[in-house]
Chains A and B, each alone.
Chain A
């Protein structure tokens, strides 16, 4: 079945939970099980230490290592989850260079005693030093785990955003390159995973041609851009123009997805959400699983999972065989992705225990450390149907430490009970309209109800009414966000009120216009000026009040504040704008100009469809058409 390593830039650690299939259970355990992964590397967690929650740290059967930014909040961030049942790292580090220090220590990783180091730290002179070392490792972009078989780097490399970040980006990539080469030189095998934010070759991106045109560079120049050149010198089989740089004479990593899919086009892992380019697969391949030469033969598969939603990236994985060739003989992988002695010949020799936790494990963050469940400290009073139906935690991973074992039981309970409720609800829905359910509900004794409410596996008809009421409550809540029923709209107040309104409007007139003279004649004089000067809405409409209404002052003033007219002007202001339609005759979407320049901040309308595979607006195709209308040039209105 293999040992699967999955990397995914999730764009916010909870982001996937908004999408199927993750949204059904909304737990990391379920997510990782669906991914069928043994190690999951997550980038762009976008979370602060203080916002870490039980459900993301105390994942039953999993351990986790975070690297979060020191200063910028809710940005970047890398996490590696490891499945306790199949693997356990022997060392863990944060940062590429090793300048950071383990929790509760002031000694940096690279200054630890040799036997506690992962090694391969850049030596003096190996880095250009344009950006300070401490800053390079301060953004939560790298977690490194060491297993007896290999060193695994989980990386979120800086994006190529603007020139102000170029130094940082190159500094980071340079440090990563040096570290990997050093590790390989020391004889360690390396797996590099993550969102590297580098397109290796023309085959790996849909927009190379566009980018050449935009930046006015040749293909060769594009190939030689510093970050791409660095990456291609690192990877076997990549094109490097001209002579290789000093210290980068040999490639050291295999691009596993390409190894298994050497000529596949459109193998994109990242798309532009704003432009909605995923449907037409106009994107680029910037998420990788790379391995050093000695490991290449271990891998049996590598691919992208472009069908899995949840982020602007898709998961990318590689699978290691269960039995791998090492030096002279074949060896079960489990023996060498766990601490020595934990597995022998693929059989577990001892359980994973609390003391196997490495200092960097998030489970040791004070808030989560040594957690104990109060539920287990009290014996349960009643073991009703629901509880007894859950058997002892034999099915759960036997490798979990005591605490997480308890946690896993806990989550089992809750999952089953929530399933139970779901079943009940659907039954209730079925029974709701049927006639006999209601009398049954009336006859029940309250005690019975309570009992049945609690037991999920015997949902009688008696539950029907209660349950349906509950679901009703939920819909009520959902409706609360919209305008509450019975809430009148502002427009309602501007309906004509022929009789009683006269006096009020008279008052209003004297309030709004203190210069209106009191005598009717003078009032009449002033009023001919008033509408044009004072009410811009009317002015726009160009409908001056009819002169014929000047008969009596009262009647005349009523006309100045003509309720129907006022209503129209209000609805003009408040009414919903009719959006233009594109060439597909679909309502356009409105966007705001972000590009600096004279038009920055102006909104405009374009076709709502996703961008086509060409990356350009297309004429007469099913993809985005050329419709473009400045919002200020569009006068559509509903009234």
Chain B
């Protein structure tokens, strides 16, 4: 039996919105520690990993492991019926055919309830190893989105070079080339803290990625004001949005093979 109450329906709305273009059907795996999701896109180039810890809910109850196989387009349709500040309650039986979603206004005067049919999804689960990344950049999520969309106008792919001079995003396309370089910029001033750029570098790294996917990841910009981008050679890029209290929305992207000769 699953019962999870979320103060702000907004969070789930935004998370589902940001991944629904990447993944069509996926399992929400619920257990006593929270609700997790892992899915690859059709071309097996990108992977989404979401974790909503039990602490994000009040209360949270899940006695047994339950997999909720959901079509994300359908889920989006149901979530559209919720206001951002509605209280959302998810309910499901132990071997469910449907998941029940209840939206309650904060003033408690309107309650709407929806049952969404579930499906059996044979999904492969990848073990994502803990990785020490050679470079990690924490920055404003809107700034990251801007870089991706700006460079996507130039080329299909971007190369990200992290060195002691900073981090450089460069794109080389048919109409010309462009690049954006960011340097470490940390202030303690609370007001401008969200514009901080924090670079942790253990060794220089340079990799090339498809911008189409990065732009797609940036749909998650609204879930968090900051984003962390982590890179290492021979490892997929990690774009991580922190959702608070240990919860996260992460995207992994396989780099393009080799360099052009």
Q: Do A and B come from one complex?
A: yes
Point out the residues of chain A lying under 8 angstroms from B201, CB to CB: none
Interface residues of A in 463-517 (CB under 8 A from B): 466-467, 469-470, 473, 476
Which segment of B13-21, B82-90, B252-260 sits at the interface? B252-260
**Complex Cα gap A121–B211 (Å):** 39
Point out the residues of chain A lying under 8 angstroms from B40, CB to CB: 374-375
- B258 and A370 within 8 A (CB): yes
Q: Which of A371, A386, A453, A467 contacts B256 (CB 8 A)?
A: A371
Q: Which of B42, B47, B252 contacts A54 (CB 8 A)?
A: B42
**Complex Cα gap A375–B125 (Å):** 10
- The count of chain B contact residues (Cβ–Cβ below 8 Å) is 41
Which segment of A220-228, A259-267, A443-451, A541-549 sits at the interface? A443-451
**Complex Cα gap A495–B46 (Å):** 58
- A379 and B65 within 8 A (CB): no
The answer to the question of B191 belonging to the interface, with a C-beta cut-off of 8 Å to chain A, is no
Interface string of A341-377 (1 = CB under 8 A from B): 0000000000000000000000000110111111101
Tell me whether A466 and B120 are in contact in the complex, defined as CB-CB below 8 angstroms, given that A371-B257, A374-B253, A378-B236 are known contacts: yes
The answer to the question of B210 belonging to the interface, with a C-beta cut-off of 8 Å to chain A, is yes
Which segment of B126-134, B192-200, B215-223 sits at the interface? B126-134
- A421 and B122 within 8 A (CB): yes
Tell me whether A371 and B45 are in contact in the complex, defined as CB-CB below 8 angstroms, given that A377-B236, A380-B127, A456-B122 are known contacts: yes
Q: Which of B95, B120, B125, B258 contacts A381 (CB 8 A)?
A: B125
- B65 and A447 within 8 A (CB): yes
- A470 and B120 within 8 A (CB): yes
- B122 and A379 within 8 A (CB): no
The answer to the question of A403 belonging to the interface, with a C-beta cut-off of 8 Å to chain B, is yes
Q: Which of A374, A417, A447 contacts B122 (CB 8 A)?
A: A417
Interface residues of A in 183-223 (CB under 8 A from B): none
Shortest CB-to-CB span from A265 to chain B, Å, is 47
Point out the residues of chain B lying under 8 angstroms from A402, CB to CB: 257
Q: Which of B119, B122, B127, B256 contacts A372 (CB 8 A)?
A: B256
**Complex Cα gap A256–B156 (Å):** 44
Shortest CB-to-CB span from B27 to chain A, Å, is 9
- B45 and A374 within 8 A (CB): yes
**Complex Cα gap A369–B45 (Å):** 12
**Complex Cα gap A526–B42 (Å):** 70
- A370 and B127 within 8 A (CB): no
**Complex Cα gap A505–B191 (Å):** 67
- B126 and A381 within 8 A (CB): yes
Residues of B in contact with A (beta carbons under 8 Å apart): 40, 42-47, 64-67, 94-95, 97, 117, 119-120, 122-129, 155-157, 208, 210, 212, 234-236, 252-258
30 contacts between A and B (CB under 8 A): A54-B43, A366-B157, A367-B156, A372-B254, A372-B255, A372-B257, A373-B254, A374-B45, A374-B126, A374-B236, A374-B254, A375-B126, A377-B235, A378-B126, A378-B127, A378-B236, A378-B252, A379-B129, A380-B127, A382-B125, A386-B122, A402-B257, A413-B124, A450-B67, A453-B67, A453-B122, A469-B97, A470-B119, A473-B119, A476-B117
